[in-house]
Amino acid sequence: MPRFDVTATRLDGLKLIQRHKLEDSRGFFSRFFCAEELACAGFSQPVAQMNHTLTHRRGSVRGLHFQYPPHAEDKLVSCLRGKVFDVAVDLRRDSPTFLAWHAEELSAENARSLFIPKGFAHGFQTLADDTELLYLHTTPYVQGAEGGLNPADPALAIAWPLAFADLSARDAAHPFIPSDFRGV
């Protein structure tokens, strides 16, 4: 019995993963990750790093972050508690959806994850207080390879569902996309 449903989004390579919960009177069991089953979604490299975030305030925004090649990473993002508006932006220079974005609501209740392939920026807005996310990465973080987009950039026109309640100084300082930006 498959433990995941994998659904393509309009951005090539970006996939929505639905985990199946086996429930009974005690609660539920769900498979969180399986390399064999998620290879069809594109998660074909080993997990190299796992990150866990807690964001206290509803409306907070984190991102939009990415790693430049050769340190680009695939990631699987899941919500453990609370709810987020999770966003991926296509930065692949030759992609027909270059600079297009896609968002999914991820929550502990809906048991969804977003598979974000190399060449995408990622960010999220919390839709509940005290929201926790878990990220599985195929490449370890390299500070010198880090890039970021300003989440308020009008060129992206992301339809964030709430006014920004909190945004780090670092994320707010990311410049708007210059006209000569050719992607990653």
- Known catalytic residues are 65, 135
Q: How many helices (H) and strands (E) does the chain have?
A: 2, 14
> Does the N-terminal peptide bond of residue 11 adopt cis geometry, omega within 30 degrees of 0?
no
Q: Evaluate whether 159 touches 132 at the Cβ level (below 8 Å).
A: no
Select from 113, 124, 126 the least CA-distant residue to 18. 113
> How buried is residue 133: exposed, middle or buried, by Cβ count under 10 Å (0-12/13-18/19+)?
buried
